[in-house]
């Protein structure tokens, strides 16, 4: 082993084995050697094979790459439990300058499942040579010999070779559209040389391009929506109004006609008097003519009979009472129904129903008429959420939510070196995305998937965790992590 000052040390990897698995570590000397290098299958008492040795090599490889052991605990029992859990910290979080390829190779040696590890020493050697070549070290033995002779001179040269190789590969990845790979290369450059102007300018170019792409997408969406609205125009508004009226007609109970007061009971009116044919005037008659006997009503085909002369004055015709007008159907007034509207993200948001401000809350208990209502949900962390909610007569709970989260904002303060690089650790892949340096960016914009989210950052060579809130600025003290 060669130290950083060029001194060569002869070492071995020690012995890591369990003498008697059945004793379960209760007897003295049950564990031979250091438990920090034991493979998980060895701890479980399974037969060891060459892949178990590759796991032990992986623990040393991790230490050589980062300066720390992959598994550490206060007691041997706790250490063995850590190894069995199999979740070593990503080497890039401990030392970002080692690069993605080397970090992935280290983690592959430490896989919990032997089938997922490096399978042979030959495969390990080929993988190590590929990592060196990717770093610009094409003659590793000659480079090592020069480093042993003059570490003070050769060390900066090796670092410069790695920086040059990463810049060249990052530019090629950027030209091929592999933005994530390019940012990883530039991030390694900034970890090795925080003041490298070329890497900083390339990172800034990628960030500007990302902003332009986002703006172009938003503009395209706006133009498309505007075009649809322009084509729809007034017919669309009429259609929406007609749909709302149809919905209300279907969900409104049938109207009950108001009962008109019953007319007073009376006998059927007599038939209208027959028309009287005029006769020539006659002399007065001394005695009244006897009343004629009632005869059946004349048939329609027979001519109407004439009125007989009488000494009494004819009474005026009786007026038949007009029938009351038919009752007018009146729709009963639609009553409001209780409706509980909840904000799913559990954030106090401002709610508007039909352009009426309902205030800010998480749960809104309202009285609304059955039918469609326009709503708007507003919160400073998110975009507006607009839509139409259908209020039914028998439903009371209606979930709503805020719109898409706005970016979170990170500010780094109290950095000893203003050129300290800042990285965002991607949760899915563990890759570190360079955001820039403390000097370059006063505030970092972080994309959010939820209104509140815990994210990991690497500032210089130290990892920080911070809970971000969409649309708000949070601060990290580079010295103590607050």
Closest residue by Cα to residue 279 from 302, 317, 307: 307
Tens of pLDDT, residues 342-360: 887 667 889 999 999 999 8
Tens of pLDDT, residues 173-204: 877 878 787 888 888 888 888 888 888 878 87
- Furthest C-alpha separation in the chain: 169
Query: What letter does residue 35 receive in the DSSP assignment?
Result: G
Write the DSSP string, 252-301: SPPPPPPPPPPPPP-PPPPPPPPPPPP----PPPSSPPPPPPP-PPPPTT
Least reliable range by pLDDT among 42-56, 161-175, 261-275, 281-295: 281-295
Two tokens, residue 306: 């004439």
- pLDDT for residue 245 is more than 50: yes
Tally the residues of the chain: 482
Global pTM reads 0.44
Least reliable range by pLDDT among 59-68, 182-191, 226-235, 359-368: 226-235
Backbone angles phi, psi at 54, to 5 degrees: -65, -30
- pLDDT for residue 298 is more than 50: yes
Q: In 355-419, at which residue ranges do the beta strands (DSSP E only) sit?
A: 356-361, 363-368, 371-379, 382-391, 397-400, 408-413
Q: What percent of the chain has pLDDT over 90?
A: 12
Q: How confident is the model at residue 424 (pLDDT cuts 50, 70, 90)?
A: confident
Q: What is the mean pLDDT of the chain?
A: 75
93 or 55, higher pLDDT:
55
480 or 73, higher pLDDT:
73
- In which residue are the tokens 């060669």 written? 2
Q: List the beta bridge partners of residue 284.
A: none
144 or 12, higher pLDDT:
144
What is the distance between the alpha carbons of residues 38 and 23, in angstroms, rounded to a whole number? 17
At residue 378, the 3 state secondary structure works out as: strand
289 or 443, higher pLDDT:
443
Q: How confident is the model at residue 272 (pLDDT cuts 50, 70, 90)?
A: low
Tens of pLDDT, residues 132-175: 888 888 788 888 888 888 888 878 888 888 888 888 888 888 77
- pLDDT for residue 302 is more than 80: no
pLDDT of residue 357: 93
CB atoms within 10 A of CB 248: 14
Closest residue by Cα to residue 16 from 70, 54, 64: 54
Q: List the beta bridge partners of residue 399.
A: 342
Mean pLDDT of 449-475: 83
Q: How many angstroms separate the first and last alpha carbons of the chain? A: 39
3-state secondary structure 92-148: HHHCHHHCHHHHHHHHHHCCCCHHHCCCCHHHHHHHHHHHHHHCCCCCHHHHHHHHH
Tens of pLDDT, residues 38-49: 899 988 888 889
Query: What letter does residue 37 receive in the DSSP assignment?
Result: G
- Looking from the CA of 303 toward its CB, the CA atoms found within 13 Å total 5
What is the distance between the alpha carbons of residues 238 and 102, in angstroms, rounded to a whole number? 64
pLDDT of residue 258: 44
Domains of the chain (ranges, CATH numbers): 16-134 (1.10.510.10)
Which residues, 6 or more positions from 451, have their beta carbon under 8 angstroms from its beta carbon?
A: 345, 347, 379, 381, 382, 402, 405, 469, 470
What is the distance between the alpha carbons of residues 130 and 137, in angstroms, rounded to a whole number? 10
pLDDT of residue 327: 67
What is the distance between the alpha carbons of residues 354 and 372, in angstroms, rounded to a whole number? 10
Q: Judging by beta carbons within 10 Å of its beta carbon (0-12, 13-18, 19+), is residue 87 exposed, middle or buried?
A: exposed
Q: How confident is the model at residue 248 (pLDDT cuts 50, 70, 90)?
A: low
H or E element at residue 456: strand 452-459
Which span out of 5-19, 43-57, 271-285, 456-470 was modeled with the highest average pLDDT?
43-57
Which span out of 87-91, 285-289, 395-399 was modeled with the highest average pLDDT?
87-91
β 421-425/432-437 pair status: antiparallel
């Amino acid at each position: 082993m060669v130290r950083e000052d060029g001194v060569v040390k002869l070492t071995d990897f020690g012995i890591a084995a369990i003498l008697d698995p059945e004793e379960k570590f209760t007897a003295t000397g049950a564990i031979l050697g250091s438990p920090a290098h034991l493979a998980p299958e060895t701890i479980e008492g399974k037969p060891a094979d060459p892949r178990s040795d590759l796991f032990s090599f992986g623990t040393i490889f991790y230490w050589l790459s980062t300066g720390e052991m992959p598994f550490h605990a206060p007691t041997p029992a706790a250490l063995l439990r850590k190894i069995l859990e199999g979740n070593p910290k990503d080497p890039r979080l401990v030392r970002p300058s080692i690069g993605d390829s080397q970090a992935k190779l280290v983690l592959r040696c430490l896989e919990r499942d032997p089938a997922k590890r490096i399978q042979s020493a030959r495969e390990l050697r080929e993988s190590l040579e590929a990592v060196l070549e990717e770093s610009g070290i094409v003659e590793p033995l000659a480079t090592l010999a020069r480093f042993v002779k003059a570490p003070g001179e050769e060390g900066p040269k090796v670092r410069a070779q790695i920086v040059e190789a990463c810049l060249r590969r990052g530019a090629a990845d950027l030209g091929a559209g592999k933005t994530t790979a390019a940012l990883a290369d530039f991030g390694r450059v900034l970890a090795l040389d925080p003041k490298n102007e070329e890497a900083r300018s390339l990172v800034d170019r990628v960030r500007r391009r990302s902003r332009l792409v986002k703006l172009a997408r938003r503009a395209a969406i706006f133009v498309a929506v505007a075009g649809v609205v322009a084509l729809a125009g007034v017919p669309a508004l009429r259609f929406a109004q007609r749909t709302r009226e149809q919905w209300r007609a279907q969900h409104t109970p049938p109207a009950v006609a108001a009962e008109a007061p019953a007319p007073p009971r009376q006998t059927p009116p007599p038939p209208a008097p027959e028309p009287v044919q005029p006769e020539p005037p006659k002399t007065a008659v001394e005695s009244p003519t006897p009343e004629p006997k009632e005869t059946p009503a004349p048939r329609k085909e027979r001519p109407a009979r004439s009125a007989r002369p009488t000494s009494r004055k004819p009474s005026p015709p009786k007026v038949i009472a007009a029938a009351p007008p038919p009752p007018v159907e009146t729709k009963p007034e639609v009553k409001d129904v209780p409706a509980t509207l909840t904000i799913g993200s559990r954030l106090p948001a401002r709610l508007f129903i039909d352009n009426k401000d309902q205030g800010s809350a998480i749960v809104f208990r309202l009285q609304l008429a059955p039918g469609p209502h326009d709503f708007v949900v507003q919160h400073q962390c998110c975009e507006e959420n607009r839509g139409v909610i259908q209020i039914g007569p028998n439903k009371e709970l209606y979930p709503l939510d805020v719109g898409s989260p706005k970016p979170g904002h990170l500010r780094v303060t109290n950095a000893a070196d203003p050129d300290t690089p800042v990285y965002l650790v991607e949760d899915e892949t563990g890759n570190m995305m360079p955001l820039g340096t403390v000097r370059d960016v006063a505030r970092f914009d972080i994309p959010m998937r939820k209104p509140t989210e815990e994210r990991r950052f690497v500032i210089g060579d130290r990892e920080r965790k911070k809970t971000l809130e969409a649309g708000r600025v949070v601060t990290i003290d580079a010295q103590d992590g607050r």
